[in-house]
Structure 1
Amino acid sequence: MLDKPAEPAPFRLTSLAHGGGCGCKLAPSVLRELLSEQPLAGPFERLLVGTETGDDAAVWQLDDDTCLIATTDFFMPMVDDPFEFGRIAATNAISDVYAMGGKPLLALAILGMPLGKLEPAMVREILKGGASIAAEAGIPIAGGHSIDSPEPIYGLAVIGTARPETIRKNSTARAGDTLILTKPLGVGIYSAAFKKEALSPAGYAEMIGSMTTLNKIGTELGKDAEVHAVTDVTGFGILGHGLEVARGAGLALEIDANALPLLSEAETLAQKGFITGASHRNWASYGEAVHLPEGLPEHRRHLFTDPQTSGGLLVAVAPNAAARVLDQIRAAGYPRAAIVGRVVEGTPSVTVRA
């Protein structure tokens, strides 16, 4: 009897990309170097937020009652299911509007696909996934642009609105503020394990669930006068985005390592070496401004530099309101939200407490 031919290996969307998700972002140090000689936005009095503090989106004040929020975000796939890739990319892009305290209005698609390598049906699934999340956010994808590119790329440019008093920057934290993180960390670690087929089915479901949860709570947080600053935690990890908050405010952050919420398998997988290249690049970029506990295991450091795709919001809130705001966040659908540190006087830096 002739041997049955071996089944061909299933096609993996991630095989077409050298990186995936927010792990594709340029390292913070590289980005600073590239932008160092760029002119500031100029004397535009209606530009409330530009490039000065590395905030999540640009903000332009249209009139006394309305601000326009504009952002764009796109990346290569970190999962093989094209529909889920579309959902993740769209959730991540829309998050920047929520992080500013705004409400999304509409989006435009950004699409780059390697012609001849992907079936049109797969590309349609990516677009369907993005549209499904946009519908969940209550907005249309009203157009966009597409190109033939060596690797698959998808994302959105998103426009939102807010009242001027509800805009929340990453640079307006105050000394004494309590820090709240709305989603658990570990997405990059899970992604590294997934690429090596070492992520459990339960872990995969947990990763997808986290990355496709919209940060809608940001709109409500912007209405709370006790919430002073908000940013979303993405490719630079909790330490990198925390450092942006510290530098913007001219203050220091203290993070409680044991209070940080983690995806259920994140620490175990990090101990086994499932680390992204972006985690190493992140530490090389800003490690000089971070103080770690003596003797901290290296795998734990990678939990703090792990790039998050469609991560949670880091919220600086007046300490007297922290418990109330935390309860509000959890009740809105973020059960793993936790108080993770505080803002203190000091040279801009992040100190991790064991």
Structure 2
Amino acid sequence: MGPADLEDVIHSIRGETLESLGAADAHTTVLVGPGDDAGVYLIGDTAIVETVDFITPLVNDPFTFGEISAANSLSDIYAMGGRPVAALAIAAFPSCTYNTEVLKAILQGALKTIKRAGAVLIGGHSLDDQELKFGLSVTGTIDKNRILRAVGAQAGDVIILTKPIGIGILTTALKRSTFGDDHISEAVKWMTTLNMEASMLALKAGATACTDVTGFGLLGHAYNMVRNTQIDIIMDADAVPLLDGVVELAEEGMCPGGAYKNLKYLSDKVLFAGAVNMQQRLIMSDPQTSGGLLVALKEEQLGVFREAGAYYAAIGKVVKGSGKIAVDRKKC
């Protein structure tokens, strides 16, 4: 579902979600409702964070697909500053197309990732479907006083990204048989990398806002950070880290349909300088799977990431404004 359609759906239920709890409970128990990366609910003194996500295969190896899907599902917990504790598996499986060994391998890959996250798999649900899909519903815990929200960035903050982008373009080329699995080994490495360390460092650095970059692309998720606020993000297209081969593939027309859909949605929300060509615009709108965290923090706190030896790229800054994104090329 594209960002415009999803925005409309979420808006239609946000009020009813809170009203269903009663006016008094809505403000005391639901700390974060629909519209952010995950929901946060307070039960006594314990705050829990919950999310769900599932995807279709991006690679041909089922074990690797399980690893990627699990990392992708866990990402929203980390984007909120939480710690995953338990997961339920969701599997849509075409039993007439694949034997159960494929599903076993997917689950084994997912289990490997869940264990790396320090969580446990406690159950799940499966159904027979025409298209293979897999993911997790994840529950985590979170400090109610240290929740990372998509909104909250302040003028003067620096914007950093903790993984390179271009995954959607690379996997599109794989699906079109332009090359084989060995050509996306770098992308697989990043997709199976948990956002756990980046989340902990964001909390340590006192991040003012945080979100993960997934289906709406870098620009779509950046827009969620400024939507309905009095700030803008000025982004340097040349500073955005890219996976190897992405530019060449974009020039060959390997951008997925979701990139075009995202870019269309952003047409009145992002201001591009003339030097930013169409390929760069599509790359920055490219849907990501298990992408990195997009973090707003004070410039003096960049040392927290640098001293930890963590991967990050400073790609923009926050200024006073009206809820827009401006993209230029500072290095051209």
TM-score by length of 2: 0.92
Displacement of 1:39 in angstroms is 4.3
Deviation by residue 1:150-190 (Cα, 9 ceiling, x = unmatched): 11110000011111122100011111110010000100110
Change over 3 Å in CA distance of 1:319–1:159 after alignment to 2 = same
Q: Is 1:46 aligned to residue 42 of structure 2?
A: no
Of the candidates 201, 212, 216, which is equivalent to residue 232 of structure 1? 212
CA contact (8 A) 1:166 1:222 kept: no
Of the candidates 154, 166, 179, which is equivalent to residue 134 of structure 2? 154
Counterpart AA for 1:123: L
Displacement of 1:296 in angstroms is 2.7
Structure 1 residue runs of 4 or more that deviate by more than 6 Å after TM superposition: none
Q: Is 1:345 aligned to residue 320 of structure 2?
A: yes
Residue ranges of structure 1 left out of the alignment (5+ in a row):
1-25
Alignment of 1:78-93 (within 5 A): 78-93=58-73
Q: Is 1:56 aligned to residue 7 of structure 2?
A: no
CA contact (8 A) 1:171 1:248 kept: no
Q: Distance in 2 between matches of 1:317 and 1:203?
A: 34
Q: Distance in 2 between matches of 1:218 and 1:98?
A: 8
Q: Is 1:36 aligned to residue 17 of structure 2?
A: no
What is residue 193 of structure 1 aligned with on the other side? 173
SS in 1 for 2:284: helix
Displacement of 1:200 in angstroms is 6.0
Counterpart AA for 2:287: P
SS in 1 for 2:164: coil
Aligned-residue sequence identity (percent) comes to: 38
CA contact (8 A) 2:226 2:324 kept: yes
Q: Distance in 2 between matches of 1:272 and 1:85?
A: 26
TM-score by length of 1: 0.87
Q: Distance in 2 between matches of 1:90 and 1:248?
A: 32
CA contact (8 A) 2:174 2:181 kept: no
CA contact (8 A) 1:234 1:307 kept: yes
What is residue 16 of structure 1 aligned with on the other side? none
RMSD: 1.6
Displacement of 1:58 in angstroms is 0.2
Change over 3 Å in CA distance of 1:258–1:97 after alignment to 2 = same
CA contact (8 A) 1:180 1:340 kept: yes
Change over 3 Å in CA distance of 1:241–1:33 after alignment to 2 = same
Q: Which moved more, 1:344-353 or 1:41-50?
A: 41-50
Counterpart AA for 1:308: Q
What is residue 327 of structure 1 aligned with on the other side? 306
| Count of residue pairs brought into register by the alignment | 321
Q: Which moved more, 1:262-271 or 1:193-202?
A: 193-202
Alignment of 1:19-168 (within 5 A): 26-40=1-15, 41-42=17-18, 43=23, 44=26, 45-51=28-34, 54-64=35-45, 66-168=46-148
Residue ranges of structure 2 left out of the alignment (5+ in a row):
none
